[in-house]
Amino acid sequence: MANLGMLLDYEWCTGCHSCEIACQMEHGFPVGKTGISVHTIGPWEIEPDSWQLDNIAIPTKQCNACVDRLAKGKLAACEHHCQAKCLHIGDMDELADSLKEKPRQALYHLT
């Protein structure tokens, strides 16, 4: 499978790191090596009662889009374990359509 991407809705990402752990478990990566890395931006105050605080997951070069799982009709390991359901792996064109539907999302082209 090619033309795969990762769409993250960082409005809802809790920064729980489950995606990182799921990726490490799925692929047998040691501690410190992962196909996805979660980062927190903030917190800082923008104006009274308005704060910058976002968690955002970023795929690394180790990410192979879980092509073996997708070929079996399964979800990617990170998507399967994301409790917030804010991370999706799939066809780039379909994800690009979803990207247009709301702000505060990020789309990565994986393969």
Cα–Cα distance, 97 to 63 (Å, whole number): 22
| Nearest approach, Cβ of residue 39 and ligand SF4 (Å) | 10
Q: Find the part of the chain contacting ligand SF4 (CB under 6 A) among 45-53, 81-89, 96-104.
A: 81-89
1: tokens are 């499978």
CA atoms of 65 and 6, how far apart (whole Å): 8
Determine, following the binding rule CB under 6 A, whether residue 36 of this chain makes contact with ligand SF4.
Answer: yes
Residue 23 binding ligand SF4, by CB under 6 A: yes
Q: Which of 3, 37, 54, 64 binds ligand SF4 (CB under 6 A)?
A: 64
Can you tell me the distance from the alpha carbon of 73 to that of 80, in angstroms, rounded to the nearest whole number?
Answer: 12
Q: How far is CA 13 from CA 6, 18, 29, 68, in A?
A: 14, 11, 23, 25
Chain contacts with ligand SF4 (rule: CB under 6 A): 8, 13-19, 22-23, 26, 35-36, 38, 55, 57, 59, 63-66, 76-78, 82, 84, 86-87, 89
